[in-house]
Amino acid sequence: MRCANCGNEDPETLWDEGETIYCSSCTHRTRKTDYEDDSVQCPYCHRMRDKSAMYCRHCNASDWNPSTPSEFEEIDNILNGIGY
Ligand SMILES: [Zn+2]
Ligand SMILES: [Zn+2]
């Protein structure tokens, strides 16, 4: 098992979830079918977001509606400020 995002191969921090492998080191999931990162870009804050998670862990958006340019500018400033 190997994390597609950070290259982690430590079985202590990789979790076999059936179709995906969860890496607790970087919180990304890797698909077993093609060994690609299973994260998708959040349409609101444009950060990488877990496809199966209810909320985006960066901007807390619970839907998949894209942000307007001014909304994106606002959330981007906030997230940059806290290091995302
Ligand atoms: Zn990882
Ligand atoms: Zn987001």
CA distance 72 to 36: 27
Confidence label for 13 from pLDDT (cuts 50, 70 and 90): very high
51 has a pLDDT exceeding 90: no
Query: Token digits for 66?
Result: 């894209």
CB atoms within 10 A of CB 8: 20
Around ion ligand 2, which residues have CB less than 5 A away? 42, 44-45, 56, 58-59, 61
Q: What is the pLDDT of residues 33-43, one digit of tens each?
A: 999 998 889 99
User: Tell me, what's the pLDDT at 53?
Assistant: 80
Q: Quick one: which of 48, 9, 47, 56 has its CA closest to 21?
A: 9
Calculate how far, in angstroms, residue 1's C-alpha sits from the geometric centre of ligand 2. 28
Calculate how far, in angstroms, residue 71's C-alpha sits from the geometric centre of ligand 1. 30
Query: Token digits for 49?
Result: 């977001």
